[in-house]
Chain A
């Protein structure tokens, strides 16, 4: 579904991605783990077109998207939950969700999708007239995920959904990510620091270090890998 071939991304003169290759098939949950500054978020931003790749190819459903504008990429069906949630603080929960459906015009279906995300996260329904900025961190993360789902993505990119959340909330969010993947058949690329949690729900995983992918494999085998255990799981 999504394929990156030797993608190199620069911030000015600094090379952030030093030739990344990865592939995601339809219906998978893939996780990208690694330490701070490994280039996980940059990989996501490159896929979204927020930071253009200088070299290499990015293919989505067989189409090259490396040179496209961010809004064109969203229109193709790639939706992003940005790092740090970035909900619209002064808009209400409902308005935030409507923003997620910005490119869609099928009102009836949008209303159904809104009911669907409210069924995933009932707390959002209770707070639907509240401004996004007044929600708690966990609720904001739920809103950010819901907002991304409102675009009906084929591929959902999640950037550190566990960031700054209490362990119980993290568990809830991860259960929901699994559920979204199972019920909607949405393909998910999950970038996480919390390697343990991420590898438990993912099918496959990639380990990044200093702008390179150093290890890849089935999630269960990565969980058992001695290097991964030592470096990222703290075992």
Chain B
């Protein structure tokens, strides 16, 4: 009986898909010979394909459901596989060594084109970690994160253009301006949450972009700013190749710095306040947490990193214009955070590498990039909504006493 209903469901799904894809997969208008071709064979393929896939789909869904029930009953260890991998010193020590070695050797092994791509990926790691503070930890959905990135980039480009200030002088300025704009965005959205917050932040991102695009006297409009100097190193003249390698290592250092700071923040008082805010706003206030301060620090500390990466972006490409700071960019950074696993540092790093490097190395399939991207996202959200690496907070143990002296785990 069950098998029959499963069969019926799959049949309906395959019919539905045949109908949906009918216009694009079956009909083709041959404009040269002015005839309509009917490719019925495609329809058959789609029917069979979706029929089979629907079984796989429901099998996987069922498995996931079962897994969740087991986890709720508390009978299985709640630590996911990826986490166990990271907790096991025998695995992660050599892995860490290998990653370090690879990272150091990378620019000398590969061409400067590859190094450039890697630098970009590292920039997105930093952006992702920054947004992770706002979205992953504090639970505030920010769709306008790219605005802070633009603020950083333009602060370098403009201050350099008008006052001739160098990269190292502006890097902290970019971060500070990020904080300032973070707070600026934070104030009006203090009372908002969920969908409303998302829409306002989306608007904020667009406002910044539109200002940059239309205020010609200030930002040189859509034509952008060119000839932005690359970062310097005590005034040493560098060839283009050397400059690329230098920027790569600079980016590695900054990423390590970001990881360090974000990791410390996560376990700090303010980190706990963010988590409380994410879980329940009213309860958070009942705990004596200052909601205003907590929200503002989340926006400010999240925006800091975008401001810094903005400065680096301007220095790396030596040319910026508003077209680099569209909503798509915000969506990309958000996808990195969601795909990687909200609140998980390792997850965000992996997410950034996957989302930035895959399209570069799969140039052959570049026509299908958005299709693959969309499919991956849908599949991820259905089967692994918690992201690649689930965020597991530290387990604190207090003095084991009497009969329940389990080994402690920090």
Contact = CB atoms under 8 A, between A and B. Distances in A.
Contacts of A95: 393, 396
Given A87-B283, A94-B396, A95-B393, A71 B290 contact: yes
B273 interface: yes
A75 B285 CA distance: 11
B276 to A, nearest CB: 5
Interface in B152-184: none
Nearest to A126: B404
Interface in A101-125: 102-103, 111, 114-115, 125
A48 B276 CA distance: 18
A27 interface: no
B358 to A, nearest CB: 30
B282 interface: yes
B279 interface: yes
Interface in B283-326: 283, 285-292
Contacts of B291: 70-71
A74 interface: yes
A5 interface: no
A60 to B, nearest CB: 14
Contacts of B275: 88, 91
25 contacts: A48-B286, A50-B282, A50-B285, A69-B292, A70-B288, A71-B285, A71-B288, A71-B289, A71-B290, A74-B286, A74-B287, A75-B288, A79-B286, A82-B286, A89-B280, A92-B395, A94-B396, A99-B272, A99-B287, A100-B287, A103-B287, A111-B398, A111-B399, A115-B401, A125-B404
B269 interface: yes
Contacts of B286: 48, 70, 74, 79-82, 86, 148
B72 A151 contact: no
A90 B279 CA distance: 7
B194 interface: no
Contacts of A92: 395
Interface in B180-231: none
Given A71-B285, A91-B275, A102-B273, A86 B398 contact: no
Contacts of A102: 269, 272-273, 276, 287-289
Interface centre among A87, A99, A130 (most CB of B within 10 A): A99
Nearest to B279: A88
Interface string A47-70: 010100000000000000000011
Interface string A14-43: 000000000000000000000000000000
A94 B396 CA distance: 8
A184 interface: no
B279 to A, nearest CB: 4
B163 to A, nearest CB: 41
Contacts of B292: 69
Contacts of A82: 282-283, 286
Interface residues of A, number: 35
A103 B279 contact: no
A70 B287 CA distance: 9
Contacts of B280: 86-89
B23 interface: no
B94 interface: no
Contacts of A50: 282, 285
Nearest to A45: B282
Contacts of A125: 404
A71 B74 CA distance: 35
Contacts of A151: 287-288
A139 interface: no
Nearest to B393: A95
List 3 tightest A-B contacts by C-beta distance, closest first. A74-B288, A88-B279, A86-B283
Nearest to A87: B283
B401 to A, nearest CB: 8
A130 B71 CA distance: 11
A137 to B, nearest CB: 15
Nearest to B280: A86
Contacts of A48: 285-286
A138 to B, nearest CB: 17
Nearest to A134: B72
A102 B288 CA distance: 7
Nearest to B281: A86
B279 A91 contact: yes
Contacts of A129: 395
A98 interface: yes
A115 B273 CA distance: 23
Contacts of A100: 287
Nearest to A79: B286
